[in-house]
Amino acid sequence: KAEDRKAMMASLPKKDEGTLGEKLVDVDPSHARWSMFPDEDTPDMLFDGVPFRDLPICHIKCSLNNTLMTLTDSSGKCLGRKSGGTEGYKNAKKGTTVAAQAAAMSFSHVAQLRDIKNIRVIVKGLGPGRLVSKMPS
């Protein structure tokens, strides 16, 4: 009986571990990236000829239930927004990394339609969509 159970367990597919980062609630490591932190000269830095303070802002709010992305201009006027729900995911599926990635892809399309090349990113929350929403695609 024990051999039959071992043979059956060996023939079963491996347990699905989910998408990379779905169960991850770790804050991004920041060692060796000190130059990325803003200082007193950051607002005057130029990115493709545009001062940092005038760049559009991408607000990303990651919760366990959803990932919300909002694009605003430098004064705070909303230019577009996407979330797991606007991409067609319902209920608990809105909080998955797949929904966050779909929202990020659609969000990048909105930014491209507005001819935006550089943005500031503000990330809040520790949801599963935190990692995949920032990844370049």
Nearest to 133 by CA among 91, 88, 81, 92: 81
Domain contains 107: yes
Structural domains in the chain (count): 1
pLDDT of residue 36: 65
Residue that has been written with the tokens 């051999």 in this structure: 3
85-108 burial, b if ≥16 CB within 10 A, otherwise e? Answer: bbbebeeeebbbbbbbbbbbeebb
pLDDT of residue 75: 92
pLDDT of residue 79: 92
Q: Are the C-beta atoms of residues 95 and 67 closer than 8 Å to each other? A: yes
Q: What is the 8-class DSSP label of residue 16?
A: P
Q: Are the C-beta atoms of residues 84 and 119 closer than 8 Å to each other? A: no
Measured distance CA(117)–CA(9) in Å, rounded: 51
pLDDT of residue 129: 79
Measured distance CA(87)–CA(104) in Å, rounded: 10
pLDDT of residue 72: 95
Domain contains 137: yes
Residue that has been written with the tokens 């201009």 in this structure: 73
Count of positions (residues) in the chain = 137
Over the chain (137 residues), the average pLDDT of each successive run of 10 is 81 66 54 63 85 92 91 93 91 89 90 90 86 65
Q: What is the 8-class DSSP label of residue 24?
A: -
Q: What is the CATH number of the domain that holds 89?
A: 3.30.420.80
Domain contains 27: no
Domain contains 49: yes
pLDDT of residue 22: 58
Which residues are CB-neighbours of 118 under 8 A, at least 6 positions away? 47, 48, 50, 55
pLDDT of residue 38: 75
Query: Containing domain of residue 78, as a range?
Result: 43-137
Domain contains 36: no
Global pTM? Answer: 0.70
